[in-house]
Structure 1
Amino acid sequence: MPKQSGTPVEVNQFDVDEEVFLCFGHENNRQMLARELQSDYHVTTADSILSESEFALYIVDEPGLEQCYEELQAVRTASEPIIRPCLLVTSSDVKRIDPSVWEVVDDVITTPISMAELRPRIESLLRLYRLSVDYGERRQLEQVASILSHDLRNPLSVAQGNLELAREDGDDEYFERTARALERIEDLLGDVLTLVRQDYSASDFELVSVDTLARETWDEFDSGESKLVVEIDGQCSIRANRSALMELFTNLFRNAKDHNERPVTVTIGVLADGFYVADDGNGIPEAKRERIFESGFSTQSDGTGLGLSIVEQVTDAHDWTVSVTESDTGGARFEVTDVLFEQPDSESAGTDGGS
């Protein structure tokens, strides 16, 4: 029988929630198992991991695991804290399996197998997946609850107190203080909504021009008298979620503007494995750089402490790395690395040209 191509074949005809991916080197076994599981699960089969899709469970045999080991490892790493379990079907003695297999495999079942044994194994691994999803959602909700209960309380108290004083003597200064407090509340709510809505599926990734999108984001950003310099020659394209990358740029731009009293020049340039966003402002003290991406941490008393946390979440979703150092002019320089550049095809280049 000819080898199946990498194009997925969805054998399930039912509206079910659990998505199971089969990566088998032995095609007959793959098709037989797919038929057995299709009544209960959404089953997709292929001979390599589909990087643009995410599944609740991966089932592989030894040839399939050998072929897709690195892809599977990348998928699992990018999905953290969500666990996407992998079940290995093997004819080998479990004790003789290479220890490195356990870096990507969560359970092993030996052949010959019966569905009476296989289904409980699958359900157990799917429960692990569901629990990890619930944990991630609960952790995010706890973060939001903390922000709403603590960080909003102070500006609300400031606004309420100044309104009372303004009612008593009508001094414009109290109204201005109230307006500033309300602006901070607005910033907090905007950042909280961004955190809650961050759900970047790999299927939403597209080829994006870094320099073009940076300029578009700057044009929409309230930059005041600050300036943007893009030091990128030619086409610099990466595969990313477009809206998420705009959020990253927006928050880095806002960080540069809000943390400096005078207008700054923001510079975007290319690294060997990524890009950087730097400014010529005051910079970030070295002692505070380790905590700068923590949710709620800010170097300013009136900062939301969420902007750079959003930046880190965006980079995590893309399996990138973000770090902060000092720019050539003594300001802050944020470096986004582990980024893979791609050459745009003619169609992409035509639709994502310069601004």
Structure 2
Amino acid sequence: MFESTAGVVVVIERERESAAEALTELADDARVESVSESSAFATFVESSDEAVDCVVVGDGTTALSTVVDDVRDVAADVPLVAFRPATTTPPGAALDAGVTDVVPSDGPDATRLLVRRVEREVSHRRREREHAETANLLDTLFEQIPLHLYVKDTDGRHLRVSRAYTDDPEQYVGKTDVELAGSEESRQTYADDMRVIEENEPILYKREPLVREVGDRFSVDDLQRHYSETRPDVEALNGETVDDERYEGWVLTSKVPWRDVDGDVVGLIGVTIDVSQQEAYRRLLERQNTRLEEFASVVAHDIRNPLNVAAGYIELTRETGNLDHLQRVVAAHGRIADLVDDVLTLARGGNDIKQVSLVSLDALVTEAWETVDSETQAATLSIDGPLGSIRADKTRMLALLENLFSNAVEHGVRDTAATTGDAHVNVRVGRLPNGFYVEDDGPGIPDDVRERLFEQGVTTTPDGTGFGLAIVQRVAEAHGWDVDVVDATDGATTSGARFEIRE
């Protein structure tokens, strides 16, 4: 409880006479001020920062009822003690005039009695102020704190709920979690409530899923809306836009026993905070760590082979003096360079894209094809009508197209030559209602590879890196797109592969 600051006792009397003199015996923290007329009381209150604990009305010419009215106009609930002679102001008349207490100034032991009555009123007034300050603090906590704060009784029923995560805290009151939701999750939270209450043991920092059935009653959306309405000067959630995809529904909960003054458990106090965003970050870090581990294992394996080849031919060159062997060394180093380039592209392609722009898909396709086709004339590109524009990151979009084209050309030319003797492949690009496709008329994708097609390191060519289609998938995911692979159709026959990228 607060220790309330001391207020002031104001004496209203003609001159500093008996009342003011008597009150000098009050406790040290009770300060006494005097005014000669009740009309001056308002001026004193307006000019003072101190609370008035009590008003003593001493002798004077102003009618007691007038003094009471003047005081009540400024301080409606302040205690008023009349200290006038009973001969001029009978106690009954004084009480009828509206004072709180009466001490006849001409009565026996009047001074000591006045001091005791004023001390009692001051003490009562300060306790009331302390209670009000405590209640105000509690109200402020439940109204403003950006946490789901709640109090429950011994049956697990909500007694009070903070407003931060809900527009209507009253919908919780009188109900248990099971009565609110009726789900398996709510039954578990109710069991936790009973454990805290019956075993007198707290539950701290428990990570648990948000009860879906009360998702509309417990949401960070309400927290942001609450602060934007009540505190426009506060930028809720650090100015971040609430994104529904964040809401996998994870919260962090702590509950402790609530004890009365005798130490008996009478319920629990709990606090829950939405940690969906932190959970999303944690999962993102896990995925990134997994990717790094995949990178390390694949790159270590794939680079070791060309390094061994290069080392072997260098040694052979030393032994034989035949410099022709160095061409194999150059080829091995070229393979390593290709691996490094693909790994870097794959790593960058998986990062979230913060900004996109409207770019010409026709221009991107042409530019990407020139890069790929500069190495071979054994492929033909056709565009199925105007492709229009697309909102994308241009650099990463080029990487996606280049890898799709490279995949079609490398596999199509080699595999077609092996099966038909015709070392040529046709690649076609066209629009879909919500995306675009890239297809070829090569031999298609083997069934034993199709399920692992987008995994890192998966390749069917001896000199392939196995990163190309993984890059395609990562770039698409970074844009929020999906990639599907189906058999391409060419007239009445099915051949080749078709990659469909959709928003």
Which interval holds the TM-score relative to the shorter structure? 0.5 to 0.7
- Which of the two has higher C-alpha Rg? 2
User: How far 1:24 sits from its partner (Å)?
Assistant: 4.9
CA distance in 2 between partners of 1:290 and 1:225 (Å) = 31
Change (3 A) 1:145 1:200: closer
CA distance in 1 between partners of 2:429 and 2:482 (Å) = 17
Change (3 A) 1:235 1:158: closer
SS of 1:203's partner is coil
User: How far 1:126 sits from its partner (Å)?
Assistant: 4.9
- Residue correspondence of structure 1 range 1-355 to structure 2 within 5 A: 23-24=221-222, 29-32=227-230, 42-44=238-240, 58=242, 72-73=243-244, 76=245, 84=246, 86=247, 104-107=248-251, 121-122=273-274, 124-171=275-322, 173-221=324-372, 222-259=374-411, 260-261=413-414, 262-328=423-489, 332-339=496-503
CA distance in 1 between partners of 2:226 and 2:469 (Å) = 50
Provide TM-score, normalisation by structure 2: 0.45
Greater mean alpha carbon deviation, residues 225-234 or residues 156-165: 225-234
CA distance in 1 between partners of 2:453 and 2:434 (Å) = 22
Provide TM-score, normalisation by structure 1: 0.62
CA distance in 1 between partners of 2:227 and 2:476 (Å) = 38
User: How far 1:273 sits from its partner (Å)?
Assistant: 3.4
**Structure 2 portions without partners, runs of 5+:** 1-218, 254-268, 415-422
Letter in 2 for 1:246: L
Change (3 A) 1:225 1:316: same
CA distance in 2 between partners of 1:203 and 1:195 (Å) = 17
C-alpha distance after superposition, 1:243-292 (max 9, x if no partner): 12111111111112222233433221223433221223333223321211
Q: How many residues align?
A: 257
**Structure 1 portions without partners, runs of 5+:** 1-20, 50-57, 59-71, 77-83, 87-103, 110-115, 340-355
**Which structure has more RCO (C-alpha within 8 Å, separation ≥ 6)?**
1
User: How far 1:234 sits from its partner (Å)?
Assistant: 3.0
| Contact 1:22/1:43 (<8 A) preserved | no
User: How far 1:232 sits from its partner (Å)?
Assistant: 3.3
C-alpha distance after superposition, 1:142-183 (max 9, x if no partner): 122112321111111011101111222243552232222222
Letter in 2 for 1:43: G
CA distance in 1 between partners of 2:332 and 2:343 (Å) = 17
CA distance in 1 between partners of 2:279 and 2:231 (Å) = 21
| Contact 1:291/1:297 (<8 A) preserved | yes
SS of 2:305's partner is helix
Change (3 A) 1:42 1:29: closer
| Contact 1:155/1:185 (<8 A) preserved | yes
CA distance in 1 between partners of 2:480 and 2:460 (Å) = 27
CA distance in 1 between partners of 2:370 and 2:300 (Å) = 34
CA distance in 1 between partners of 2:472 and 2:224 (Å) = 43
| Contact 2:350/2:474 (<8 A) preserved | no
| Contact 1:276/1:333 (<8 A) preserved | no
Corresponding residue for residue 346 of structure 1? none
CA distance in 2 between partners of 1:136 and 1:26 (Å) = 29
| Contact 1:321/1:337 (<8 A) preserved | yes
SS of 2:308's partner is helix
| Contact 2:252/2:273 (<8 A) preserved | no
User: How far 1:328 sits from its partner (Å)?
Assistant: 3.8
User: How far 1:210 sits from its partner (Å)?
Assistant: 1.7
User: How far 1:199 sits from its partner (Å)?
Assistant: 4.7
CA distance in 1 between partners of 2:440 and 2:350 (Å) = 29
CA distance in 2 between partners of 1:105 and 1:35 (Å) = 28
Matched residues, percent identical? 33
Corresponding residue for residue 16 of structure 1? none
